[in-house]
Amino acid sequence: MVMVGVHLILRENEARFYVINLNGDISAVEKNWSGNGHGASVIYGLDDTQNYLYYTDNYIYSPEEIIRLNYETGNESAIILDEKGERFSLISGWQSHLPYEKIQPDGDADVSIISIFDTTSILAPRDSTIKSNRSPKWISDNEITFNAFGESDGLGVFKANIVDSTIEQLTKLNGRWGYDVSKDGEIVVLSAEIEGDDGLSESSIFLKNTHENDPIYIGPGTYPHFSSNQREIYL
């Protein structure tokens, strides 16, 4: 089956995962409905080379317990990573590692990259101006992006190469309510919190080409992401 999507379907207080293929055929990954899980689930990513879905059943109380579910067979196992970790991320490419937010005692965060096999980890590259970084995403086999923060203000979205330790600032706006980066790393779409005409803050979508100085305002919205063909943006 050519898998193009994983969906969490709810009914009353129960839930289970389904997959859908290019023909529109939908089938249940799990044989039984879950009555005590999935309600606070987050899907962290897919390893489509080995038919694995990585997710947590409760991102609030146990974000570090990652469930590895084989969406072909329904077999699953739990991986306990870092109890101070949040927002793990995965893309096809370097499937053995997950970048995530490691929360420090003072509330700041470091983006760490952890092995799902032996739980060893390294910190993502950053310079001295960055005091905290959050919301990591893979964009290639060797590169991740993250929201960066200084002493008090947001610094924008940065790209870091984990092989040669170079970093690059992609935007001066932080994706407060989500962001996404094109596959070539040239365009960032993000939801920044700005002050509206009424003096209240509002979440607004911006598109930023890394070769241009100013971002383009699209409209209000949160958690934007590019479609698989990179031609549309979903809000």
2-33 pLDDT, tens digit per residue, is: 455 555 555 666 777 777 766 777 777 776 66
Q: CA angle 48-54-55, nearest 5°?
A: 145
Strands of the sheet with 42-47, listed across from one edge: 42-47, 52-56, 65-70, 76-80
Residue in the block written with tokens 């994706």? 175
The SS3 assignment for 128 reads coil
For residue 8 the two structure tokens come to 């969490």
Identify the residue with better confidence: 87 or 45. Answer: 87
Q: Quick check: helix, strand or coil at residue 154?
A: strand
pLDDT > 80? residue 233: no
Which phi-psi region, left, alpha or beta, contains residue 3 (left: φ > 0; alpha: ψ -120 to 50)? beta
- On whether the CB atoms of residues 235 and 222 are closer than 8 A, the answer is yes
Give the number of other Cβ atoms within 10 Å of residue 21's Cβ.
13
Higher pLDDT, 145 or 40: 145
How many alpha carbons fall within 13 Å on the CB side of residue 172? 6
Statement: residue 92 has pLDDT above 50: no
Mean pLDDT of the chain: 79
Residues 30, 16: contact at Cβ < 8 Å? yes
Q: At residue 153, what is the residue type?
A: D
The predicted structure's pLDDT at residue 37: 56
Q: What is the pLDDT of residues 131-185, one digit of tens each?
A: 999 999 888 778 889 999 988 788 999 999 888 999 999 999 999 888 988 888 8
Specify the pTM.
0.73
* Residue 79, number of CB atoms within 10 A of its CB: 16
φ and ψ of 26, to 5 deg: -120, 140
∠ CA 178-166-83, nearest 5°, is: 55
Comparison of pLDDT for 121 and 198, the residue scoring more: 121
Whether the CB-CB separation of 55 and 46 falls below 8 Å is answered with no
